[in-house]
Amino acid sequence: MATWKMLSFQDAVSPIKEQLILFHDHTMMIIMMITSTVIYMMISLTMNKLSNRNLMEGQLIELIWTLMPAMLLVIIAMPSLKILYLIEEINKPLITLKAIGHQWYWTYEYSDFKKIEFESYMKKTENLEKNEYRLLEVDNRIIMPFNTKMRILVTSTDVIHSWTIPSLGIKIDGTPGRINQGGILTMRPGVFYGQCSEICGANHSFMPIVMESVNMKTFNNWIKSFIQ
pLDDT the model gives residue 27: 93
Q: How far is CA 72 from the centre of its chain?
A: 25
pLDDT the model gives residue 228: 67
Bridge pairing between strands 208-214 and 142-145: parallel
Helix, strand, coil share (%) of the chain residues, nearest 5? 35, 25, 35
Q: Which of 184, 209, 173 is nearest to 94 (CA)?
A: 184
Query: Is a pLDDT exceeding 80 seen at residue 175?
Result: yes
Domain regions of the chain by residue span: 15-49+57-88, 95-226
What Å distances lie between residue 175 and 165, 198, 209, 211, CA to CA? 17, 11, 17, 21
Rounded to an integer, the average pLDDT of 102-111 is: 92
pLDDT tier, 52 (very low <50, low <70, confident <90, very high otherwise): confident
Superfamily of the domain at 95-226? Cupredoxins -  blue copper proteins (2.60.40.420)
